Chain A
Amino acid sequence: MAEVVFNSVGKDFGREAVLRDVDFEVRAGAFAALIGPSGCGKSTLLRMIAGLEHIDFGEIYIDGRAMNYLAPKERDVAMVFQNYALYPHMSVAENMLFSLRMARVTRAESNERMWEAARILGLEDLLDRYPRHLSGGQRQRVAMGRAIVRNPKVFLFDEPLSNLDAKLRVQMRAEIKRLHQRLGATMIFVTHDQVEAMTMAEQVIILREGRVEQVGSPLELYDKPANAFVAGFIGSPAMNLVLGTFEVVNGGPCFIPQDGKPITFLPGSLPGAEKTNPGQQYLLGVRPEHIAIPETDPVSGSRKSHGEISAKVVLVEVTGLDTHIVASAAHGEVTILVRGRFNTAAGEQLLLRPDFSRAHVFDAETGVRVD
């Protein structure tokens, strides 16, 4: 087990800066996920840990030792590649033994470690096969086996599940998680899939355009996103973000969307609203699952009460477990997530009641959270 520390790490490709001031620490034995949109530098960062890319600025420490000028083989890390990168001319056993052969480990010990890894991953019957004869999931397992036999300080995974079909991906997700629990080693996992990051990791690092946006546990990122980018990135469907100003109208606080009618809320019910300045623009964020659809009286029809907004249904997506509704309100489109079934159709009018106590406020200019 070893901690991995990034100290002001930076990287340039030609004149373009791909990583800047990356500062965070992955605790020893932790399962960390590096996540961000494509091109944010997450794979580059992983390759820098492995020694496949030069560290242009700052330092990376593994177990207290600076890695900057160490060759990949001196770093004691193992990596699982996106396309598995199995050696096609070697059998599964030879693939797994390759690193031990390079490390001049004795034949007896190599075989013992290879069998142990094969047992953990259920590869015993495939040892004589060649990669071309394996299915996607089996190749994935061999790639992990190749990493396990080395017993490295740190495991690196570069989007290892992206080539698998949806069902297998869920299965392998659980398998990697179990592997982490069994080995207890530090694992760093790169993904662009936030569900993968949220379900697997205990520490999530969000990157955007080469900078770290937030580091924290999955629930921290979900409950308290540090900025509007993280708020929009984490959670599916994505958080509703509305641009507008906070004003006091008729003695009560309200949020006035840029294109829309004022939305009133009770004083003190919206965290961060008291710290806003009148006239300044903010983003009000409400997660789709934090918008309720109050039942309307069929006789009297809908009557808006405090903090409610009316919207017209545009699209209904049913997953079976829950229902996603996209509705058009005065300020723009809103996504609502209803647990279970909800009977509605495009064109219907709905009343929406956002739960302001779980809403988020961000500075529109800097994107930083206000609270």
Chain B
Amino acid sequence: MTLTPDPAKPPVPRRNRPKVSVTRSITVYGGVLLLLVLVLFPFYWMVTASIKNFREISIERTLVPREITFKNYYDLFEQTSILWHLFNTAWISCFVTVVTVILASMSAYVLTRFLTPAAEWIARVSLYAYMVPSIVLIIPFYIGLRMAGLVNTHAGLILSYLSFTLPLGIWMMRACFQTIPKTMEEAAVVDGANRFEAFFLIAMPQALPGVVSTAIFVFILCWGEYLYPVVLISSDSLRTITITLDALTGGGQNIKFGLLMAASTVATVPILLIFLFLQRHLVRGFAAGGYE
């Protein structure tokens, strides 16, 4: 007797093949498409408006630009210090991200591995701290920073950013460390590592997807933060990108849409690049951290 299938016999149709209903597919894909349009259309409008002339933006309101012009970008770099403000935003965001990732990883590690009864409480308090709206804290922050002589400085801005990035970072990194089995660090300790070596050489490499997603979240939060810089920063040279965009709205009168859309596009590009570059890690981080 042979076990190979008989070529003369037609293959038996698989009974339990899932039946996909056409209506269901149309509903699902239609929904996804609608969602995509809702999300992507503003981006499309922003990018196309930045390369349209004034007439096309404000009077004709064309969907597809008939004439492509880079005048808006030329004017933007000519008339404003947007590059300098971009640089300010970039370095502050990077600095806050690095500090947050380092401090949050270490705190979250301690909160998951050591102070078990108190840890849950501390972690929760840190989340509550994140939930408090910035607008509630801005005045106390302003007073505190003024007393410390840090109003209108990047140091003050960084401190205020850390007040909301750290709780978020700790919460995310804690979720990440909770998924990493403790036994590997124990194996490392028996293998002769001390606690720091076990943390840096064993736990951290495994927490990398979590680190990447935390870093991206924190970076985006810092990049788009508006309230703290608008209250704390008054000098033009210290401004961040959100304030530049705000200034271009001209307080609601005579909004230069072309310029504003060009500035918005310039402000979006770095974030988009980071996303594209780290997308793979980000998805892995979501899955591993369980904060999907």
Contacts and interface: CB of A to CB of B under 8 A. Distances in A.
B189 A83 contact: no
Interface in B193-234: 193-194, 197, 201-202, 205-206
A171 to B, nearest CB: 23
Contacts of B181: 83, 85
Interface in A129-183: 146, 150
Given A87-B202, A89-B205, A89-B206, A51 B190 contact: yes
Nearest to B186: A52
B198 to A, nearest CB: 10
B205 A52 contact: no
A77 B192 CA distance: 10
A73 B184 contact: no
B187 A81 contact: yes
B191 A146 contact: yes
B194 A73 contact: yes
Nearest to A88: B206
A37 to B, nearest CB: 22
Interface stretch (A98-106, A206-214, A283-291): A98-106
Contact of A85 (B187, B192, B194, B205): B187
A197 interface: no
Contacts of A72: 189-190, 192
A85 B192 CA distance: 15
Interface string A44-85: 000000111000000000000000000111000111011101
Contacts, number: 58
A87 B190 contact: no
Contacts of A83: 181, 183
Contacts of A86: 184, 187
B110 interface: no
B193 A102 contact: yes
B192 A102 contact: yes
Contacts of B194: 71, 73
B188 interface: yes
Given A88-B206, A89-B205, A102-B197, A52 B190 contact: yes
A99 B192 contact: yes
Query: Contact residue range for chain B?
Result: 10 to 19
Given A88-B206, A89-B205, A102-B197, A73 B192 contact: yes
B188 A87 contact: yes
B21 to A, nearest CB: 38
B236 to A, nearest CB: 47
A43 to B, nearest CB: 11
A60 to B, nearest CB: 15
Interface string B49-63: 000000000000000
Nearest to B208: A89
B197 to A, nearest CB: 7
B39 to A, nearest CB: 35
A71 B192 CA distance: 9
Contacts of B205: 89
Contacts of A81: 183, 186-187
Which of B192, B194, B202, B205 gathers most chain A CB within 10 Å?
Answer: B192
A50 B189 CA distance: 9
Contacts of B206: 88-89
A73 B187 contact: no
A148 to B, nearest CB: 12
A150 B190 CA distance: 11
A321 to B, nearest CB: 30
Nearest to A75: B190
A79 B190 contact: yes
A103 B192 contact: yes
Given A73-B192, A98-B191, A103-B192, A85 B197 contact: no
A103 B206 CA distance: 23
Contacts of B202: 87
A89 B193 CA distance: 16
Contacts of A99: 191-192
Contacts of B201: 98
Interface in B161-198: 181, 183-184, 186-194, 197
A85 B186 contact: yes
A142 B28 CA distance: 47
A295 to B, nearest CB: 43
Contacts of A77: 190
A268 B187 CA distance: 56
A78 B197 CA distance: 18
Contacts of A79: 187, 190
B84 to A, nearest CB: 41
A143 to B, nearest CB: 8
Contacts of B197: 102
Nearest to A149: B191
Which of A71, A102, A103, A146 gathers most chain B CB within 10 Å?
Answer: A102
Given A52-B186, A77-B190, 12 more contacts: A51-B190, A72-B192, A73-B192, A78-B191, A83-B181, A83-B183, A85-B183, A87-B187, A87-B202, A89-B205, A98-B188, A102-B192
19 contacts: A51-B189, A52-B186, A52-B190, A72-B189, A73-B189, A73-B190, A77-B190, A78-B190, A82-B183, A83-B181, A83-B183, A85-B187, A86-B187, A87-B187, A88-B184, A98-B188, A98-B193, A102-B197, A146-B187
In the A-B complex, the 8 residue pairs with the smallest Cβ-Cβ separation, listed nearest first, are A102-B192, A99-B191, A85-B187, A73-B192, A85-B183, A89-B205, A79-B190, A85-B184
